């Protein structure tokens, strides 16, 4: 049966890098569209921040990836957009959701949301020269979930390719619940494709959101998919594998990712830090999350990491749906 919705994977700085995305797609799939973690500080296209596999067309499928930028400088956004266009991309994503106070207090990320006049001026400048489509990922506000109301007319006037709304406010960081009623109120006002993001952690939570927002046809997954990489194919009813088979697939995926990152880092231990970031979500899909996390967290060499991973897969069961279990703790 034809699916009536589209799924994308939200960007996670330090986790969903090009290696994760490529291997995730090869091992699990179910995701229709990806976004890079944010780029920032683009002063020239030949600069260091651009010379990476992250948006290299040899490593990515340009038609299903949106490079993301965190900026409040129209020239920088245009410069990055032109470079992405030259690489073959057809859409740029602007981050207006990053909640961290050191970012927000400089009116970047979700810190832009309380300033509709500034956003309007930036959009006017960007529109004149941006050579590819613009999508925006934002929250409902920074201090107050009504801030978005004043931005919507500017977003509509620009003609965005899509608006992704993480239904929290910046001040919440990643805590507290999502503002479902507030999200429902904005759905009518937005003239472009509206994408829902926030707390889709299991099939049950997805069905609840679908019932509450029947007009939404594009959903962005986040921590739920990091914890259980089968989430997307499960939402699409496209996986019959039992828990033992799933566990084997997860082992192959984390092993490939570890080896790829080790190689890409020039055998540096920084690659372990990145694996641990992912594991901090994935442990919740094992039968004893605390045991798994204790083992992985304390590993400090390739050898101890490999032993810890072997131990987790030997001793613990894969039970899936990790982030919904974490939320219940
Ligand atoms: C560690 C971490 C890094 C993140 N990095 C980014 C980022 O680079 N760009 C972005 O737009 N969102 C970023 N996010 C937000 C996620 O993409 C997503 O919007 C958020 O987790 C809400 O979705 P969820 O409730 O399904 O997890 C990050 C979140 C976390 C926890």
Q: Whats the size of the chain, residue-wise?
A: 329
197 lines ligand 1 (CB under 6 A): yes
Average pLDDT, integer, range 291-303: 97
The neighbour count for residue 298, using CB atoms within 10 Å, is: 11
Average pLDDT, integer, range 30-42: 96
Q: Ligand 1, atom 29: nearest CA belongs to which residue?
A: 12
Dist. CA 68 → ligand 1 center (Å): 12
Greater pLDDT, 2 or 145: 145
pTM assigned to the model: 0.97
36 lines ligand 1 (CB under 6 A): no
Average pLDDT, integer, range 282-289: 96
User: Is the predicted pLDDT of residue 1 greater than 50, yes or no?
Assistant: no
147 lines ligand 1 (CB under 6 A): no
Residue 184's pLDDT band, with cuts at 50, 70 and 90, is very high
Of the candidates 120, 118, 59, 49, the one whose C-alpha atom is nearest the C-alpha of residue 87 is: 59
Dist. CA 11 → ligand 1 center (Å): 6
User: Is the predicted pLDDT of residue 91 greater than 60, yes or no?
Assistant: yes
Cα 287–chain centre separation: 26
Q: Ligand 1, atom 26: nearest CA belongs to which residue?
A: 222
Q: Ligand 1, atom 4: nearest CA belongs to which residue?
A: 12
Average pLDDT, the chain: 96
Structure tokens at 159: 């003609």
Residue 329, classified by CB atoms within 10 Å of its CB into exposed (0-12), middle (13-18) or buried (19+), is exposed
Q: For residue 171, what pLDDT is reported?
A: 98
The pair phi, psi for residue 286, each rounded to 5°, is -100, 160
Q: For residue 50, what pLDDT is reported?
A: 76
Strand partners, 39: 69
Residue 225's pLDDT band, with cuts at 50, 70 and 90, is very high
200 lines ligand 1 (CB under 6 A): yes
Q: For residue 3, what pLDDT is reported?
A: 65
Q: For residue 178, what pLDDT is reported?
A: 97
Average pLDDT, integer, range 85-101: 98
Query: 128-165: per-residue pLDDT in tens?
Result: 999 999 999 999 999 999 999 999 999 999 999 999 99
Structure tokens at 294: 């204790």
Of the candidates 100, 104, 101, 82, the one whose C-alpha atom is nearest the C-alpha of residue 92 is: 82
User: Is the predicted pLDDT of residue 293 greater than 60, yes or no?
Assistant: yes
């Amino acid at each position: 049966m034809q699916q009536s919705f589209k799924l994308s994977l939200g960007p996670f700085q330090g986790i969903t890098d090009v290696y994760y995305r490529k291997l995730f797609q090869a091992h699990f799939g179910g995701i229709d569209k990806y976004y890079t973690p944010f780029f920032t500080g683009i002063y020239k296209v030949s600069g260091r921040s651009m010379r990476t596999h992250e948006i290299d067309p040899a490593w990515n499928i340009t038609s299903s990836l949106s490079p993301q930028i965190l900026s409040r400088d129209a020239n920088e956004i245009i410069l990055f957009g032109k470079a992405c266009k030259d690489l073959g991309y057809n859409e740029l994503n602007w981050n207006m959701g990053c909640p961290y106070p050191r970012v927000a207090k400089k009116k970047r990320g979700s810190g832009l949301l309380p300033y509709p006049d500034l956003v309007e001026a930036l959009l006017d400048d960007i529109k004149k020269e941006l050579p590819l489509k613009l999508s925006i990922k934002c929250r409902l506000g920074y201090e107050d979930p009504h801030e978005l109301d004043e931005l919507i007319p500017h977003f509509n006037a620009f003609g965005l390719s899509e608006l992704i709304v993480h239904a929290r406010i910046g001040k919440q960081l990643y805590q507290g619940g999502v503002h479902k009623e507030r999200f429902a109120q904005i759905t009518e006002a937005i003239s472009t494709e509206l994408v829902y993001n926030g707390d889709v952690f299991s099939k049950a939570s997805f069905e609840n959101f679908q019932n509450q927002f029947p007009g939404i046809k594009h959903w962005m997954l986040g921590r739920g998919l990091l914890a259980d990489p089968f989430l997307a194919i499960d939402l699409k009813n496209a996986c019959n594998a039992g828990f033992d088979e799933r566990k084997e697939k997860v082992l192959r995926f984390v092993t490939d990712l570890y080896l790829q990152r080790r190689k890409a880092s020039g055998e540096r231990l920084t690659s372990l830090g990145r694996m641990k970031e992912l594991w901090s979500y994935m442990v919740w899909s094992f039968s004893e999350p605390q045991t798994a996390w204790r083992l992985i967290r304390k590993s400090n060499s390739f050898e101890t990491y490999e032993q810890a991973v072997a131990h987790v897969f030997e001793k613990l069961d894969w039970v899936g749906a990790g982030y919904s279990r974490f939320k219940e703790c």
